[in-house]
Structure 1
């Protein structure tokens, strides 16, 4: 899952990683330029039974759950597999396939992360409005500065134990929170129109106080995971 780098989306960074409007405009402009969207499950191919380790942020904030619910209800005709409400997440960093990492390596990665994350304080994010990518619909997330620092620290911690060759560079990180995966190749036109109608919903605030090292798997066109470690920020 980390061996072949995928093109980041949007292709370019916003002109400011601290300006929420710049981030949202960049996400929206990139999505609106798409002519076609792809089946996520084909584009992001996994072998049967495949699983992998990732650093995740997870969310259960009531305001975010309510916003996701409203948007998913309006998109149920669009060939979208909705993200379960108990599965809302922000992917920070892929670590590697499960069969290539030992329990000792995971423990060492976690210990290294604990040391580096003591210097990063808990923070808040604004999540929304809705936009999309080549194979998913997702919320913009702003600002990026704390997330970029978090990604960099986790990358350093992971690379101190594993080879850095397959670990994504922070320059390729594009924070987002997905709400649905496109399951049918199609023209992007209708999806863009339907998302446009939902962009008036105001962003909501979510808190970030910890990161999770998860073992991720696919089940019936959904992502599910098991926590392997939870690392607090600033402690």
Structure 2
């Protein structure tokens, strides 16, 4: 892992710190191959510029449910019930972390196949909207991804791209089996994120 004791003179990364609300995630508690690949890639990342994602912080954001304070426990319970019903016929699937890339200044793996991720996202979104018709669902043009390092400063896209170029180009190809989605209460820390799992939604075996 590259370390630099000289702090760069850059603008700290902006963004709301604290509770963000409830989201649908995929998390990777039991993915040793992904953990091993992540640790290997992180050895090349300069921690003077990037905050490394711990293994228990690896996640893939599927959708937003509600901003902090904009939903009640009863509404979240109804959404979870609807999600279980919607997802009971969705089969588990295998996802591949195909390549590492610059994610607008962050560094992470692109996950495929995209269609399976979007099918699950759409099912969970339907459950959310059945209870909260005006939910601030997350319309994103980004490919499904798992971030392994977050920028600590603004304007690090070029440095992230250069870092990706130094990482072994054969990195990737690790498979992860998706057996559930989770509803989380998400919080942003200084540079990265933490969460508490509120509900687990199993997929059909």
Q: Which bin holds the TM-score, normalised by the shorter protein? A: 0.7 to 0.9
Shift of 1:56: 0.5
Query: Do 2:105 and 2:158's aligned partners in 1 also have CA atoms closer than 8 Å?
Result: no
Structure 1 stretches of at least 4 aligned residues deviating more than 6 Å after TM superposition: none
Measure the CA separation in 1 of the matches of 2:183 and 2:12: 23
Structure ranking higher in strand proportion: 2
Change (3 A) 1:108 1:138: same
Unaligned runs of 5+ in 2: 1-9
Structure ranking higher in helix proportion: 1
Equivalent in the alignment of 2:63: 93
| 1:174-223 CA-partner distances (Å, limit 9, x unpaired) | 31000011112345434322202223213200010001000011234331
TM-score of the pair, normalised by structure 1: 0.76
TM-score of the pair, normalised by structure 2: 0.86
Shift of 1:39: 7.1
CA RMSD of aligned residues (A): 2.1
Shift of 1:96: 1.2
Measure the CA separation in 2 of the matches of 1:40 and 1:139: 24
Tell me if 1:150 matches 2:151: no
Matches within 5 A, 1:26-175: 41-42=13-14, 45-46=15-16, 48-60=17-29, 61-77=31-47, 79-164=49-134, 166-169=136-139, 172=141, 174-175=143-144
Tell me if 1:234 matches 2:197: no
Change (3 A) 1:153 1:119: same
| 1:39-93 CA-partner distances (Å, limit 9, x unpaired) | 7841xx21x5333100010013111001111111110256111111111100000
Count of matched residue pairs: 194
Measure the CA separation in 2 of the matches of 1:168 and 1:144: 16
